[in-house]
């Protein structure tokens, strides 16, 4: 059988294939869909229970903050406060000096994050672009500091802070943590991604190391610096 066109030519007709699905195939497909829906339902039930277990202690903490001491000690415990008491928050803010503690945390965190970014940027640039004696050895020493546990340096840091007269001050809380080997390593890897030809071209245009670092290297390493800022904030 052929199909005739307007110009008189003809072409073979395309056969129409009639897809016949048997009843057994329909049943098999329906069973697969049913098993898939059951698997998804079980997965969501498990995730919901896991989320409830994780969030339950947080919920109890919030509920207890809205109860009086007698209600907290009552048995059975209160899971839904009928008359929330907000006085605990005002007492914590005033009598508990939470405003002072919050301000101290903000200041110390800002100093640590800023200090780590500045020191790590300078050290990483030196290891990436400068040539000086014992460069490789010093970088290995930087990496070795990552294997020193924090507990080992506590007494030494405290003694240094006391000798410098920084005890009970913002400088004493922030200075020991304003430089890390991890930050220098992270930013060095980012700076190594800057083409060396770009540094040579900048030198021909009169860019010194400081100007090249501020104008070229640092903008190109912003993602790594943002990651370092997040890690520093979480560890401050």
Every domain of the chain and the residues it spans:
23-73, 97-235
pLDDT digits (tens, 9 = 90+) for 151-164: 888 888 888 888 98
Is the per-residue pLDDT at 141 higher than 80?
Answer: yes
- pLDDT of the residue at 111: 93
Is the per-residue pLDDT at 236 higher than 80?
Answer: no
CB atoms near residue 64 (< 10 Å): 15
- pLDDT of the residue at 3: 52
- pLDDT of the residue at 18: 52
What rounded mean pLDDT belongs to the chain?
A: 82
Higher pLDDT, 18 or 79: 79
Is the per-residue pLDDT at 62 higher than 70?
Answer: yes
- pLDDT of the residue at 110: 93
| Interior angle at CA 173, CA 169 and CA 174, nearest 5 | 115
Question: At residue 168, what are phi and psi to the nearest 5 degrees?
Answer: 60, 45
Is the per-residue pLDDT at 71 higher than 70?
Answer: yes
CA dihedral sign, ordered 125, 126, 131, 136: negative
Which band of pLDDT confidence, cut at 50, 70 and 90, is reported for residue 175? confident
- pLDDT of the residue at 8: 55
pLDDT digits (tens, 9 = 90+) for 23-39: 676 767 777 777 788 88
Q: What percent of the chain has pLDDT over 70?
A: 89
Which band of pLDDT confidence, cut at 50, 70 and 90, is reported for residue 168? confident
Higher pLDDT, 14 or 144: 144
Q: Which of 80-89, 98-107, 141-150 has the lowest mean pLDDT?
A: 80-89
- Stated pTM of the model: 0.66
Residues whose CB falls within 8 Å of the CB of residue 69, separated by 6 or more in sequence, listed in order:
none
Q: What would the mean pLDDT of 120-126 be, rounded to a whole number?
A: 90
Q: Of 169, 189, 186, 182, nearest to 111 (Cα)?
A: 169
- CATH code: domain 97-235 is 1.10.3720.10
What's the burial of 57, exposed, middle or buried (CB within 10 Å: 0-12/13-18/19+)?
Answer: exposed
DSSP labels for the chain? -EEE-TTS-EEEPPPPP-----HHHHHHHHHHHHHHHHHHHHHHHHHHHHHHHHHHHHHHHHHHHTS-HHHHH-SSPPSS-SS---HHHHHHHHTT-HHHHHHHHHHHHHHHHHHHHHHHHHHHHHHHH---TTHHHHHHHHHHGGGS-HHHHHHHHHHHHHHTT-TTSHHHHHGGGS--HHHHHHHHHHHHTS-HHHHHHHHHTT--HHHHIIIIIHHHTHHHHHHHHHHHHHH-
For residues 199 and 129, the answer to whether their CB atoms sit within 8 Å is yes
């Amino acid at each position: 059988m052929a199909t005739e066109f307007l110009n008189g030519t003809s072409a073979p007709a395309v056969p129409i294939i009639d897809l016949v699905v048997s009843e057994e195939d329909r049943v098999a497909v329906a069973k697969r869909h049913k098993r898939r829906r059951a698997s998804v339902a079980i997965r969501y039930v498990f995730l919901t229970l896991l989320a409830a277990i994780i969030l339950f202690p947080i919920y109890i903490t919030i509920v207890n903050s809205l109860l009086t001491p007698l209600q907290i000690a009552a048995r059975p415990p209160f899971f839904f406060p009928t008359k929330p008491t907000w006085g605990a928050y005002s007492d914590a803010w005033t009598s508990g000096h939470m405003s002072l503690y919050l301000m101290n945390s903000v200041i110390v965190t800002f100093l640590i994050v800023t200090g780590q970014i500045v020191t790590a940027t300078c050290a990483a640039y030196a290891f990436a672009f400068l040539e000086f004696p014992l460069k490789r050895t010093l970088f290995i020493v930087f990496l070795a500091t990552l294997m020193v546990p924090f507990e080992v340096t506590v007494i030494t840091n405290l003694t240094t802070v006391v000798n410098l007269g920084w005890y009970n001050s913002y400088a004493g809380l922030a200075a020991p943590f304003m430089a890390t080997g991890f930050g220098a390593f992270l930013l060095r890897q980012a700076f190594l991604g800057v083409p060396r030809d770009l540094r040579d071209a900048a030198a021909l245009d009169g860019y010194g190391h400081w100007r090249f670092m501020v104008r070229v290297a640092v903008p190109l390493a912003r993602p790594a610096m943002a990651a370092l800022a997040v890690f520093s904030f979480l560890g401050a």
